[in-house]
Chains A and B, each alone.
Chain A
């Protein structure tokens, strides 16, 4: 027993602290790396300037693709009941028509997509339609960029517009004219 007690007294009670700095550094670096400063994403739009007395310029009926979204999120595409997943193809057909079909736009630069909502339309339904419309334009731009020999539209913008500082021809050829219709005057 006496020998056992002696052994206990001799034991070192210090914790090695040499690696403490490394542990702290590791923690610091872990948090530095994993912290993401969240970037805001969303659908960008430009509102029309406030209306003056003068009326907006007249638009030919065939150049305008009218999309109506009602109170429960149902769609009316050029007066025909439709669904959200059909919007994209319809917009592409309308914009890239080049005057072939008399029901669709004369040229891509004249094509206008008009989205009209009522005041009770759910916001999510509106965003769904707007998203599909923008996706249609994104796909048109992508295929136009591929036609010019680029991998996709993002590549085109990166190489031609940002590096060489040339005008964005794809966007000029297919300007995304998405119009948010004026709300009806409140009764």
Chain B
């Protein structure tokens, strides 16, 4: 019995910590790899105008984006003003209506965020707005940056 007691008092109480950094690094690398910074590549340039009267969109899942701006061409060149929804450039603007109508049936509280390049002309913006009206997606948001004075 006495030998038994002696054994009990001797066990090592340290948890091996040599592999802890590896575990942490693994976590770090896992999150770095799985983090997606941008879901879809924007193929038009959208340099947003600045404004003061801002409202925030807190619920990101309600938002659908429409990008309007000059198309990015290879070699830092800019092409004609194009409209992009999700990851596709829209060839015929009347297609906007059906795309937005489909999105609206999936999310009735849809907010359309218009990311329009500041050099664009109002003509194409108005055409897109008319399509949005026809689709019934009436809540829009002109995306702008904060004006710093």
Contacts and interface: CB of A to CB of B under 8 A. Distances in A.
Interface of A: 17-18, 20-21, 23-25, 27-28, 31, 39-50, 69, 117-124, 126-128, 130-131, 134-135, 137-138, 180, 183
21 contacts: A31-B28, A40-B113, A41-B54, A41-B55, A41-B144, A42-B114, A42-B142, A43-B51, A43-B142, A45-B141, A45-B142, A47-B137, A50-B136, A121-B121, A122-B120, A130-B51, A131-B52, A131-B53, A134-B53, A183-B123, A183-B130
A49 B138 contact: yes
Contacts of A28: 24, 27-28
B93 interface: no
Contacts of B142: 42-43, 45, 127, 130
Contacts of B51: 42-43, 127-128, 130-131
A119 B24 CA distance: 56
Interface residues of B, number: 49
Given A39-B58, A40-B113, A44-B111, 16 more contacts: A24-B21, A28-B28, A39-B56, A40-B143, A44-B139, A44-B141, A119-B122, A119-B123, A123-B49, A123-B121, A124-B49, A124-B118, A128-B49, A128-B51, A135-B52, A135-B53
